[in-house]
Amino acid sequence: MHTILIIEDEIDIAELIRLNLERNQLHTELAHDGQTGINKAFEHLPDLIILDLMLPIKDGIAVFKELRNDNRTRSIPVLMLTAKAQVEDRIAGLEEGADDYLTKPFSPKELTLRIKSLLKRHTKSEHSSLFDCPPFKFNTSTMQLYAENELIELTATEFKLLLYLCERVDTPQNRHTLLKEVWGYHDEVNSRTLDTHMKRLRQKAGDHSHLIETVRGIGYQIISQ
């Protein structure tokens, strides 16, 4: 059974999420402020964390950074919750490396779908093996990426996205397909997610960033070396 940690100070929203997840056979832990959230993350090592951005004591971005800086919690997928007005916050969250986000108010059904997609993505990648796409080398059991034997730290979502593109090297992948296959989205409302992830992948790829190509009017592709 998967455990989901919900870090949300609005009690009503936290309860609504909890009820929906438990109805879907997911175990939940609750925290109503940032510091308690961090403590519970270390204590329970959940399979996924739902993190509100506006939190008392320690805000969501600070909590997120602390989780990503610790080996125990680094690779736990994080879905951020943001208020509609806080566009800047949301972009900041994605640029820090959140795996997904939802804007309030959201439908509980949508949240459940996103969580299932994130969990599936994360679990699936724990059970396969090695994949080579020079100069990239993917170890899908440890979720590690090497470029010419140098380790590149990626989040679970960045890893999945780059792997998906590398498995289809030299073939442009359209935005719609990427959002659907990697995030489970069925519309393009969240296409900014894709661009921020691609931007981060380029930064992390460093000397190899030229292999990640934007294909005008289509989407992205990895070109062979």
What does the binding site for Ca ion look like in residue numbers (CB under 5 A)?
Answer: 9, 52, 54
Cβ closer to Ca ion: 57 or 147?
57
Q: Tell the smallest beta-carbon distance from residue 13 to Ca ion (Å).
A: 8
Q: Tell the smallest beta-carbon distance from residue 84 to Ca ion (Å).
A: 13
Cβ closer to Ca ion: 52 or 158?
52
Closest residue to Ca ion, judged by C-beta, is 54
Cα distances (Å, whole numbers) of residue 178 to 72, 121, 157, 165, 204: 29, 13, 11, 9, 19
Q: 135 exposed, middle or buried (CB, 10 Å; 0-12, 13-18, 19+)?
A: middle
Instruction: Indicate the SS3 state at residue 101.
Output: strand
SS (H, E, C) 173-186: EEHHHHHHHHHCCC
Q: Tell the smallest beta-carbon distance from residue 216 to Ca ion (Å).
A: 39
Whole-angstrom distance, CA of residue 47 vs CA of residue 156: 12
Cβ closer to Ca ion: 52 or 100?
52
Q: Tell the smallest beta-carbon distance from residue 31 to Ca ion (Å).
A: 12
Cβ closer to Ca ion: 56 or 206?
56
